[in-house]
Structure 1
Amino acid sequence: MRLLLLPAARAGVAPRALTAVTAWVLGEAGFRRLHLTHSTRNDAFCRVASKARFPLEGITPSEAVHSDGRHDMHLHAHLRSDN
């Protein structure tokens, strides 16, 4: 899933949206674990993940190809038991 917001609408929206989706996925949809990845160069999304209670689990070296080359990726996860 990719979340794109205009700058004026970004304040606090992404963590709230991620929290709402997480609640549905781990609740009604019945999943036990939800993980997300992002480039280690994307500090803003790292803050979103942290605010939505997705702790950093690790770094996967050179995992994704972006327009400027390969990026290391952060791996975050939230478990049903974390709620």
Structure 2
Amino acid sequence: LELGGGTAEAVRQAELNLRTARLEAARLRQQVANQRLASRADRRELGFTVSMQQRSIAEQAAKLREADISSQLPGVLTWVNDNLGATVQAG
């Protein structure tokens, strides 16, 4: 049996190849869609991580600013009290 210059077996093989190619194309489309979803989730997670790190940096910067002690009067430092939190008297 000849159809358009090809045998029935060649036509069946071509149809099978077409179905296989369509299934492969559908699989690849699904894979791309899944990768896009995963990338979107990764970007969102990274956004949260960056936000948390920025907040942590801001907190550390605030602590550093609070730790800086300066006097309104000129003077020379002659003694350092190693007892953290101890009350000291003026003079």
Question: Which structure shows the bigger proportion of residues in helix conformation?
Answer: 2
Question: Which structure shows the bigger proportion of residues in strand conformation?
Answer: 1
TM-score (norm 1): 0.24
Q: Which protein is bigger by CA-based radius of gyration?
A: 2
Greater relative contact order, per chain length (Cα 8 Å cut-off, separation 6+): 1
TM-score (norm 2): 0.22
